[in-house]
Amino acid sequence: MIHQTPAALPIPGRHGRDIEAQRRSLAGLRKVIPVDPEPGAERWQDLGEALMQGDPLLDDVVVWMMDVGYRSGKALYDQAASEGIASIKDAPPVLRAFFEHVENTPGWADAARLDEGARCSALAGRMGNFALRDVVLIGGYQLSAVNKTLLATGALKKNTAKRLMETTKWFLDCMALGGMAKHAPGYVSTLQVRLIHGLVRRQVRRLDDWDVAADGLPINQLDMHNTYLGHSVVYLIATRLLGVPYKADEAQAVMDLWRYVGWLMGVDERRLHETELEAIVALYQNSLSQPGPDESGKILAGAMVDEPLSIRHGRFPGLQGRWTRAVHLSISRGFLGKQGMETLGLPNVLPWYPLLTGPARFLSHKLIRLLPGGRDWLIRRGFRRQANELRIRTGAVPPKQFAPHIQTAAAAQG
């Protein structure tokens, strides 16, 4: 059992509130971890304190932006993100401090390595998009404390298709070749995500019914760390189980890419992991801290489940929408299990899609890799298929990325 040491920071009540239930739900993950993943007292204390830690540099920018006026402040932020802080004459000190930090890329974030991470991510093709939607996002709705922030903003429930499209575009921007170079689409998109987090953190923190003693800061370091883990190690686990094989160095390249994305997103550097094993252990420990599911998961998952029916498919749109909905539910069932589907109020369907297609996909990848140029062909096909998934979604909602949610958060703060 874990014995908590005296706190250097106050520890919110949500920390480890459902630890025994979470430990039972994580039994399968623990079996595949070759080391003891249980956190010691010091590590457990650190996880609790992370709930009270935000993103100081960005939070200072948000305060400045609200003081000078959102529109003018946001225009300067956007210019610095897309052109560099040097492009702004007499830049405000708080903005300069933030972007000088951001533009001082860590030495471990090698550009060639980031591009290799993009190529290896593309090996998953459409299965990468499915893993993001059906495992990372829907699976994350089991975390009631994270849901509380989403529900407080109202954005996700009201604009499910739009939010999913924006998340997909950010995800693919980060995984494009050259996408994480300074001022490239993935770099700019990640800084927009970081700004959204800062605006929402300020907005929700000011709500009368937000209890810091119980819930910590909105979008705190532990929850941002959870987002980073979802897009890196959970992505790898999910796409493997959907039949996508990775060599060890390919999985490492994916981890390297998302380590930098996480850093740029504002995750404390010491919470970013060099290896997949470190990240899996951290995933287990982070999950122990998180409260389990409640009714909020049903609200959010319910808003997501019928999203395929709103997409403007080509021929036979009704039939295509119902088929796509069934595929997504089947994938979620394969990862969440019967109990997970029940806690989210989702139909307890059979996991037919991963069972039927996973082995064939694994074999085809292995065989294609034996051919000259086979791996490169898989990568090119993967990029095309991932982009096509985004095109399908932007047919349902105009792709005006991030603007609605930034404006909503800014307006709420006056």
**Per-residue confidence (pLDDT) for residue 155, from 0 to 100:** 56
**Per-residue confidence (pLDDT) for residue 393, from 0 to 100:** 65
Q: How many helices (H) does the chain have, and how many strands (E)?
A: 23, 0
Comparing CA positions, the residue from 5, 239, 17 lying closest to residue 122 is 239
The CA-based angle 242-273-328, given to 5 degrees, is: 25
User: How far apart (Å, rounded) are the C-alpha atoms in residues 383 and 111?
Assistant: 19
**Secondary structure class of 6 (helix, strand, coil):** coil
315 burial (CB, 10 Å; 0-12 / 13-18 / 19+) is exposed
Q: Which residues touch 229 (CB under 8 Å, ≥6 apart)?
A: 279, 282, 283, 286
**Per-residue confidence (pLDDT) for residue 166, from 0 to 100:** 85
User: How far apart (Å, rounded) are the C-alpha atoms in residues 149 and 219?
Assistant: 7
Q: Which residues touch 112 (CB under 8 Å, ≥6 apart)?
A: none
* Per-10-residue mean pLDDT, the chain, length 414: 52 95 92 95 96 97 96 97 97 97 96 97 95 94 89 67 83 94 97 96 93 95 96 96 97 98 97 96 97 89 83 72 92 92 93 97 98 97 89 56 42 47
Taking CB atoms within 8 Å and a gap of at least 24, the contacts of 187-194 are 187/81, 187/264, 188/81, 188/82, 189/401, 189/402, 190/261, 190/264, 190/265, 191/77, 191/81, 191/102, 191/264, 192/81, 192/401, 192/402, 192/406, 193/265, 193/402, 194/55, 194/58, 194/264, 194/265, 194/266
Q: How far is CA 223 from CA 3, 187, 197, in A?
A: 22, 21, 11
Q: Which two tokens stand for residue 227?
A: 């987002």
Which pTM was predicted?
0.91
User: How far apart (Å, rounded) are the C-alpha atoms in residues 82 and 362?
Assistant: 40
Which helix H or strand E contains 96, and what residues bound it? helix 93-103
